[in-house]
């Protein structure tokens, strides 16, 4: 195998990986759920609380100004990394779920009225499904759902057909958390724009695995979570085009997001503060910047190339197991392998893998309609990150083989 990543050195940077579970070295293959954190991120958060902790944007004193500057520098860095036009197009949230809820609520109020609908795909995570479903229900309608084909790709003809039905908003995942499918979002965004429909892209699964460019994608909104890209939990990003964010009403109300307040009336602060009510998670934002710098320094292309090798090797090795069935075999796939073996229930397989020190996810992956599409109760999902190794895939394969023998 050839790779430009020094994986052994990278692994040393992640303290969690260096431990035993049930007396076996931990094999962590649940990265689509959350990634582990490198020392640099942990130290950054620690340093913030040891030396910099302060409420931001309001104090005249030294510490507050320092913390405010660090926080706003993180925003600038992230805006640059994803190639946003302005740093005020970056809104900090608690995560992908809150970002989607913010857009659904606020853009929903701006654009949708009785009878209006939202278009999604059949592979959405519940967090990019239920907020839109609620908006549709409030308007007396149902979601428009683009079909998924047998290998787990979005049926683009059906997507085009649904665009012609006049949805007011399109919300699509960049990468399916359950299948690994990489949607052709650039093409899908372009198609939606020919009908003048704004598009939100759920990037929860993509940011750790590829470089995203807001100008190139031309999406109207892009959302992601810190914790899936080696950053702390409880922080996420909403990118929105300035033109939309300016027009949208605030989502939450309180301190920080206001300009003038009297008991009769309040005028709202400018972007991005209009959407950042209350004290933000400053430490986590600084940790997010550190994590993204770590990914950038490691190299998006090198990471993607290495993870593709892991994916190919995983398919090849697991494919030697009798009865192996891969759920999701899209031509373009991220490093996620969802599978079933024979008639074995994923819960049984996952339980035995756990006993062998292997952390995988089992179940419906918060994508129940997608599992219904394939008429399965769920899958076992192994998802890889830059610190996983070929040896770990060998261990996974051997463990699956042992579990299958026990369960057959």
With a CB cutoff of 8 Å and minimum separation 6, the contacts of 291 are: 37, 38, 40, 41, 226, 229, 230, 231, 232
Nearer to other proteins, 305 or 366 (CB): 366
236 bridge partner residues: 93, 225
- Smallest gap, in angstroms, from Cβ of residue 347 to other proteins? 4
Residues 365-404 that bind other proteins (CB under 8 A): 377-378, 402
- Out of 74, 173, 298, 362, the residue judged to bind other proteins by CB under 8 A: 362
219 belongs to the catalytic site: no
| Residue of 155, 309, 348, 398 interacting with other proteins (CB under 8 A) | 348
Compute the distance between CA of residue 137 and CA of residue 290 in angstroms, rounded to an integer: 40
**Which residues, 103 to 132, sit near other proteins by CB under 8 A?**
none
- In the complex with other proteins, the residue whose CB is nearer, 287 or 357, is 357
**Contacting residue, 16, 347, 372, 391, with other proteins by CB under 8 A:** 347
Q: Which stretch binds other proteins (CB under 8 A): 27-35, 37-45, 201-209, 348-356?
A: 348-356
Nearer to other proteins, 44 or 361 (CB): 361
Q: In 10 A of CB 140, how many CB atoms? A: 11
91 binds other proteins (CB under 8 A): no
What is the rounded CA–CA span in Å between residue 389 and residue 330?
Answer: 23
CB 351, min distance to other proteins, A: 5
Shortest separation between residue 348's beta carbon and other proteins, angstroms: 5
Sheet with 90-93, strands from edge to edge, namely 90-93, 236-240, 221-225, 199-202, 169-173, 118-121, 144-146
SS3 state at 310: helix
Residue 406 binds other proteins, judged by CB under 8 A: yes
Span of 175-183, 218-226, 310-318, 361-369 interacting with other proteins by CB under 8 A: 361-369
Q: Is 364 in the site for other proteins (CB under 8 A)?
A: yes
Which of 109, 147, 325, 345 touches other proteins (CB under 8 A)?
345
Nearest to 403 by CA among 344, 325, 327: 344
Least distance from C-beta 396 to other proteins, angstroms?
A: 17
- Per-residue mark of binding to other proteins, 243-282 (x: CB under 8 A): ----------------------------------------
Instruction: Choose among 242, 311, 197: nearest CA to 86.
Output: 242
Q: 144, exposed or middle or buried, with CB in 10 Å at 0-12, 13-18, 19+?
A: buried
Query: How far is Cα 200 from Cα 120, in angstroms, rounded to an integer?
Result: 10
Q: Which is nearer to other proteins, 315 or 402 (CB)?
A: 402
Q: Which is nearer to other proteins, 285 or 382 (CB)?
A: 382
- Cα-Cα-Cα-Cα torsion 197, 159, 188, 196, nearest 10 degrees, comes to -20
**Is the distance from CB of 338 to CB of 380 less than 8 angstroms?**
yes
Please state at what angle helix 300-318 crosses helix 390-407, rounded to 10 degrees.
30
Q: Give the three-state DSSP class for 119.
A: strand
Structure-token pair, residue 85 = 């036009």
Which residue among 363, 369, 389, 398 contacts other proteins (CB under 8 A)?
A: 363
CB 22 to other proteins: min, Å: 7
**327 forms part of the interface with other proteins (CB under 8 A):** no
Instruction: Kindly tell me which residue out of 22, 61, 196, 331 binds other proteins, with binding defined by CB under 8 A.
Output: 22
Q: Which residues pair with 337 in a beta bridge?
A: 382
Residue 342 makes contact with other proteins by CB under 8 A: no
Q: Among 76, 158, 355, 373, which residue interacts with other proteins (rule: CB under 8 A)?
A: 355
Active-site position among 54, 136, 219, 366: 366
Q: Is the dihedral of CA 223, 227, 229, 235 positive or negative?
A: positive
Tell me the C-alpha distance between 404 and 396, whole Å.
12
Write out the two tokens for 147. Answer: 């079909």
Per the structure block, which two tokens stand in for 138? 């409030």
Number of residues that bind other proteins (CB under 8 A): 17
State in angstroms the smallest separation of the CB of 371 from other proteins.
Answer: 11
User: Minimum distance from CB of 327 to other proteins (Å)?
Assistant: 16
Question: Per CB under 8 A, does 346 bind other proteins?
Answer: yes
Residue with tokens 């008639």: 343
323 sits near other proteins (criterion: CB under 8 A): no
Q: At what angle do helices 156-163 and 185-194 cross, to 10 degrees?
A: 20
Q: Given the rule CB under 8 A, which residues bind other proteins?
A: 22, 345-348, 350-352, 355, 362-364, 377-378, 402, 406-407
Residues that are catalytic? 366
């Amino acid at each position: 195998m050839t790779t430009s990543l020094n994986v052994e050195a990278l692994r040393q940077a992640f303290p969690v990986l260096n431990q035993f579970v049930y007396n076996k070295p931990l094999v962590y293959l649940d990265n689509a759920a959350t990634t582990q954190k490198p020392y640099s991120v942990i130290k950054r958060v620690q340093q913030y609380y040891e030396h910099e902790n302060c409420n931001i944007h309001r104090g005249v004193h030294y510490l507050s100004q320092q913390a405010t500057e660090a926080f706003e520098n993180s925003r600038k860095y992230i805006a640059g990394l994803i190639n946003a036009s302005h740093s005020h197009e970056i809104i900090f949230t608690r995560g992908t779920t809150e970002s989607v809820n913010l857009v659904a609520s606020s853009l929903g109020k701006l654009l949708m009225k009785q009878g209006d609908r939202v278009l999604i795909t059949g592979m959405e995570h519940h967090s990019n499904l239920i907020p839109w479903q609620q908006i549709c229900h409030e308007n007396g309608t149902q979601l428009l759902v683009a079909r998924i084909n047998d290998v787990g790709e979005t049926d683009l003809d059906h997507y085009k057909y649904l665009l012609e039905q006049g949805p007011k908003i399109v919300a699509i995942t960049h990468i399916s958390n359950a299948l690994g499918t990489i949607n052709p979002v650039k093409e899908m965004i372009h198609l939606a724009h020919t009908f003048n429909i704004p598009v939100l892209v759920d990037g929860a699964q993509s940011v750790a695995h590829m470089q995203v460019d807001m100008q190139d994608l031309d999406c109207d909104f892009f959302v992601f979570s810190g914790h899936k890209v080696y950053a702390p939990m409880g922080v996420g990003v909403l990118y929105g085009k300035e033109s939309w964010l300016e027009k949208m009403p605030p989502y939450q109300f309180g301190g920080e997001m206001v300009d003038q307040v009297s008991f009769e009336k309040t005028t709202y602060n400018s972007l991005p503060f209009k959407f950042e009510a209350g004290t933000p998670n400053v430490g986590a934002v600084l940790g997010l910047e550190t994590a993204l710098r770590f990914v950038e320094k490691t190299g998006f292309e090198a990471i993607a190339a290495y993870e593709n090798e892991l994916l190919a090797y995983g398919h090849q090795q697991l494919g030697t197991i009798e009865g192996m069935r891969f759920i999701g075999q899209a031509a373009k796939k991220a490093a996620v392998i969802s599978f079933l073996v024979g008639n074995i229930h994923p819960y049984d397989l996952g339980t035995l893998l756990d006993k062998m020190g292997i952390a995988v996810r089992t179940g419906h992956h918060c994508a129940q309609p997608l599992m219904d599409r394939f008429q399965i109760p769920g899958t076992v999902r192994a998802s890889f990150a830059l610190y996983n190794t070929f040896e770990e895939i060998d261990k996974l394969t051997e463990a699956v083989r042992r579990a299958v023998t026990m369960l057959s």
